[in-house]
Structure 1
Amino acid sequence: MKDALLLRGDAVHSPIQIDHPDWSSAFDHDPARTADHRRRLVAELAEPGTIGFGVHFADVVFKHVQQDGDGPPWRPLDA
Structure 2
Amino acid sequence: MVGGSPESTEAAVARKRWRERDEKREEQEHRRRGGYGEEATQAEFVVVVVAEAVAEVARHSGTVEDFGHRDGGRSQI
After TM superposition, the score normalised by the length of structure 2 is 0.26
**Which structure is richer in relative contact order (CA contacts within 8 A, separation 6 or more)?**
1
After TM superposition, the score normalised by the length of structure 1 is 0.26
More helix by share: 2
More strand by share: 1
